[in-house]
Structure 1
């Protein structure tokens, strides 16, 4: 029965949506420094766009400070510019090949903006999960139409796919609630 539809593959794809959501949430500022905050930033380096972690080492020496150690001295200006222009509201201080990035206090308006962004990320994750469900359901309909599985088997499998979908979406909602409380915590 379940040989025809690979539930493990569907589960794996839904977990992939969860992992992508976790990664997106990691980039949102909560008031505490996190190296993942700078990960989405790309640098114009050596004639191409490169992620910041391929030209520098990011560390967290203090709860409200990031330290970016640029490996190539000629790249310091480009890294500093990329951090300033990232839209994260950060203002790096250059000290040789090291950039110190103090994290300013989040005001109420900025916290609300970050919560909205977190909600957008959550909705993207839910949509990805629903796409996986739709693919699974389409696959079931095709298998039933081709007489590979019976109507009863199709109904049982579609209920399993729906249960996986509901569990995954509730996990996304829980993660969103945790991140939202982290962001709003003063």
Structure 2
């Protein structure tokens, strides 16, 4: 049970690190999923991504130029506030200024990721409580006590996730 709860929190931390950066980094683009020839690929598998200067990221598609239209869609729909410009097999991505609206959008995404994590922990909790209640070989009192322990453990994980979210939210909105 603890492994599954830890996995949910680690997944949330990874999502925060990849998707909720105030500055658009090459790292946040590398793992962006692009549909190409019927399969999903990470952008870094299809193109070379380089930071040209603090305000521009260059994505070179010389190996897979036919993936450019789908990559453009993925970049524009990523929620990273990106507006890539195409020049041949190269995309130039201006790094956007951090606006209040961008911060608020990131904070909204952070809340969605937190809720997803919280729901995963609740699913784990429900699974284990169901398993305990199905056990016919234990007394009702023991099942009740075990259920209370499961609830307490899952509540700790939910509180940890909430704390991580609160810290990230304050960072994003500039508090």
TM bracket, shorter-chain basis: 0.7 to 0.9
Matches of 1:33 and 1:11 in 2, distance apart? 33
Unpaired stretches in structure 2, ≥5 consecutive residues: none
Structure 2 residue aligned with 1:162: 151
8 A contact 1:31–1:105 mirrored in 2: no
User: Pick from 108, 133, 138: which aligns with 2:130?
Assistant: 138
The 2-side partners of 1:82 and 1:151 are apart by 53
TM-score, normalised relative to structure 2: 0.79
Deviation at 1:68, TM superposition (A): 3.1
Structure 1 runs not aligned, ≥5 long? 1-9
* 1:33–1:63 Cα contact (<8 Å) kept: no
Structure 2 counterparts to residues 39-78 of structure 1, below 5 A: 39=30, 41-60=32-51, 65-70=56-61, 72-75=63-66, 77-78=68-69
2:17 to 26, 29, 36: 26
Work out whether residues 33 and 65 of structure 1, in 8 Å CA contact, stay in contact via their aligned partners in 2: no
Q: Normalising by the residue count of structure 1, what TM-score does the alignment of the two structures yield?
A: 0.75
Equivalenced residue count is: 174
**4+ residue runs over 6 A deviation:** none
**Corresponding residue of 1:14:** 5
